[in-house]
Structure 1
């Protein structure tokens, strides 16, 4: 009985501490009069931008009416936005919404990225994993991977595949695909998924690799075709599309993630308050439905869980990058 009382007392103290931290965060944000800025390293119109704007709108209410703005800082695969986060005051007013590329890949492929996620950032919350996909333009006749490979063999200039950023996960996926199909494939880097999609829709480029959410709308509208998804399971949002594994291509199974980060030194009260707000927003049915419709697998990760996911994913891709022979630029 005494043990139970002690456990209840500890639980009550912990709950009170969380509540106090949340209240402190809300009061400080309201008192400052400053908006919360969410940096996004890609231009408007892409998947990351759409996700950030959805969450920003909902977070305003969850944080007691504090204005939450999306600040697009596109370029270099999120590197510019990451540098902006590092330089921002650690006062809880600047955050960075990004996926695996900027956190787990960029520091391995760029000699001087201008930031170190381990030293300069604090994990705040993870909110989803997602899958990349291979899609073809409307004038590329292939309806599956086998047909795409056969089509590639019919013309030497057909093997260009668009990617949203140089030295990104999609670039290494192009290398894996080239190795396993024994074809000469070339990755064509863009500054984000939006310009890549524009060229695919205009039939300026025959294929592209990007996130499922980048291709979802145009796939359903018949303006392009997704012919393979990564991961071990088909996607609920497009169950008719087989996985790359089903089509004989291995090495596409590990799933990238989305997370939110703050500058190192941000008070824990702000981190806890914002992380808790993300958790509540994700429980809203319309948010869950909209994120799922974008091809995300929604799932809240607290700061320590996000850090663990980041570490595991980075380890997998360290091996892939090293085996590819890629030299940091």
Structure 2
């Protein structure tokens, strides 16, 4: 109450100490309130994911978020902003305050491929993002649904050839993605009329594969591995220059005569440009610590990842080299940015 803080008195000199005390208390209260709000705002770190819950990227993000909260001393929550191949999440990162409370966990598609296939994606990685650190590489693969009798690429090709005019549909987790370009190149090599069916992430694509709504799909090994192990789908070929330890029986496309897919895609974490270097260093160090945990390493490896920490500089170099490689491949297919 004003009258309690400033009691009526006939002595100006006597009132001054009371006024000073009241002002001091008010300022102190405001400072405490501001400090509390700042702590509340910085107490949670959002880890953006550009794909729906239930997919490979979402599962990976949740494994890391669970451990990062201990290393950072802050709650880390996964926030799915699905759509447009991660474009919505990337735009959200660009718009976020550069204070370390909003991060983006992404694989190669959003950061390296989207800027090559979309004329105006709403962000420029080199300008709008700063690398925090990488933690894995992986390979993409071709998998056939349970209702498709094929157990190898040759058997799949023979099966498609028996369909009307050698035509079939292959699911891809995002339009104009590496998996879609893989479909194009498989069709060209085997002279098949393969039509890509783009999805909003691997989870809905996997749902249709499990329901035998589509005969095959392309995507990352982490997207397929659990259902492959369960015998519900079959991975028949993988990208990369060597067979995967988790899938030793599955040949590479290079072994099958389809070269050009040896450069491995990556997973990394990014922050908005302008984030203080000290903040980047702190989060990157926490990521390195988490990736080194045996339980995290084992869980990510079981998902089909090759786990290895990359510094911000290493992730930046890898992203730029990968973009250059795929710029050449995309150009060779005659694809025109939309």
TM-score with structure 1 length normalisation?
Answer: 0.89
Aligned to 1:207: 216
Alignment partners' CA distance in 2, 1:300 and 1:86: 24
- Specify the alignment match of 2:115 in structure 1: 107
Instruction: Give structure 1 stretches of 5+ with no counterpart.
Output: 1-28
Aligned to 1:192: 201
Q: Provide, for residues 239-284 of structure 1, a one-character-per-residue CA deviation record: whole Å limited to 9, x for no partner.
A: 1111111222212221100010000000111100000000010110
Distance in 1 between residues matched to 2:333 and 2:286, nearest whole Å:
40
Q: Deviations over 1:160-207 (max 9, x none)?
A: 110000011111111111111121111110000000000000000000
Task: Establish whether residue 269 from structure 1 lines up as the match of residue 278 from structure 2.
Answer: yes
Structure 1 counterpart SS, 2:193: coil
* 1:119 aligned partner: 127
Residues 51 and 58 in structure 2, CA contact (< 8 A), matched pair in contact too: yes
User: For residue 14 of structure 1, what is the aligned residue in structure 2?
Assistant: none
Q: Which residue of 1 aligns with 2:22?
A: none
Among residues 80, 87, 97, which one is paired with 1:89 in the alignment?
97
The structure number with the bigger radius of gyration is 2
**Unpaired segments of 5 or more residues in structure 2?**
1-37
Aligned to 1:172: 181
User: Which residue, out of 116, 136, 142, partners 1:134?
Assistant: 142
| Contact kept in structure 2, 1:37 and 1:69, CA below 8 Å | yes
Q: CA deviation at 1:119?
A: 0.4
Q: Is the 8 Å Cα contact of residues 167 and 195 (structure 2) preserved in structure 1?
A: no
- Quote the Cα distance in structure 1 between the aligned partners of 2:263 and 2:235: 19
Contact 2:44-2:75 within 8 A present in 1 as well: yes
Q: Does 1:73 align with 2:81?
A: yes
2:59 is aligned with 1:42? no
Q: 1:216 aligns with which of 212, 225, 246?
A: 225
Match status 1:289 vs 2:316: no
- Structure 1 residues 77-105: Cα deviation after superposition (integer angstroms, max 9, x where no partner): 00000000000001110000000000110
* Residue 152 in structure 1 maps to residue 160 in structure 2: yes
User: What secondary structure is seen at the aligned counterpart in 2 of 1:248?
Assistant: coil
So what's the TM-score if we normalise by structure 2? 0.87
Root mean square deviation, CA, Å: 1.4
Residues 297 and 30 of structure 1: CA distance in aligned 2, closer, same or farther (over 3 Å): farther
Quick check: 1:158–1:206 contact (8 Å CA) kept in 2? no
